[in-house]
Amino acid sequence: MGRAVAAAAEASPNMTIGAQMNRHDPIALGECDAVIDFSQAEATEAICAACVEARKPLIIGTTGQASAQRDAMTKAAERIPIVLAANFSVGVNTLFWLTRKAAALLGEDFDLEIVEMHHRLKKDAPSGTAKRLAEILGEVRGLAGKNDVVHGRVGQTGERPAKQIGLHAIRAGDVIGEHTVIFAGAGERLELTHKASSRDTFALGALRAARWLIEQPPGLYSMENVLGL
């Protein structure tokens, strides 16, 4: 993703890369208007601290943060504007919006399942995008407990509870990213699917977020805020 963002920025007529850092490099922000992070969750706290010190808006596309790292982002957002997104694709964020609408319209008679697929090298599961989809479904249905989301099923699981969200992660090949939300009712099924064929869509979304964020006050924003959804 870092290479994709760099390539997209170089191709943009009104953007210049101020500095690039790889894993284990010291954090040196250089002359820039915003910082884009697609690194490792373990680096989140240090990157947030550096951006707060330099007063730089921060775009975070890294997923898998622990509670302490999420707390660091929340605290940093009191001082600088931050866009935190599990997925910067315009299509995926439209999927978030459609998922919320469909869950509200279809009601509680439809069972909820999420299936996501990514390349075999992805380190975390389920994906941040799948987690966000589950959060949206939980918000609409009033399901907030950990027991309301089941990660795969095995053995004698018994009848499926009505108040449950199924979440299933597939890791194989070089799949960039696929997410499907299934609403299954009596005699009918609605599926909302997004498939990414290139990382360019995420890179372009991150640059779009950067352009938007530099005009915003401190706060923690989502890509849905960027798109006005």
Q: 208 with 62: CB under 8 angstroms?
A: no
Please identify, in words, the CATH class of the domain defined by 2-84+199-227.
alpha beta
Per annotation, catalytic residue among 118, 131, 168, 194: 118
What pLDDT score was predicted for residue 78?
97
Return d(Cα 109, Cα 119) in angstroms, integer. 34
Active site residue 118: yes
Give the pair of three-digit tokens for residue 212: 């938007």
Per annotation, catalytic residue among 24, 75, 122, 151: 122
Active site residue 119: no
Q: 37 with 85: CB under 8 angstroms?
A: no
**Fold assignment, 90-196:** Dihydrodipicolinate Reductase; domain 2 (3.30.360)
What pLDDT score was predicted for residue 212?
96
Give the pair of three-digit tokens for residue 127: 């994906």
Domain extent listing, the chain: 2-84+199-227, 90-196
What pLDDT score was predicted for residue 105?
97
Q: Is the pTM above the cut of 0.85? A: no
36-95 pLDDT tens trace: 998 888 889 999 999 999 999 999 988 778 888 999 999 999 999 999 997 899 999 999
Residue stretches of the chain with pLDDT short of 50:
none
Give the pair of three-digit tokens for residue 17: 């890369």
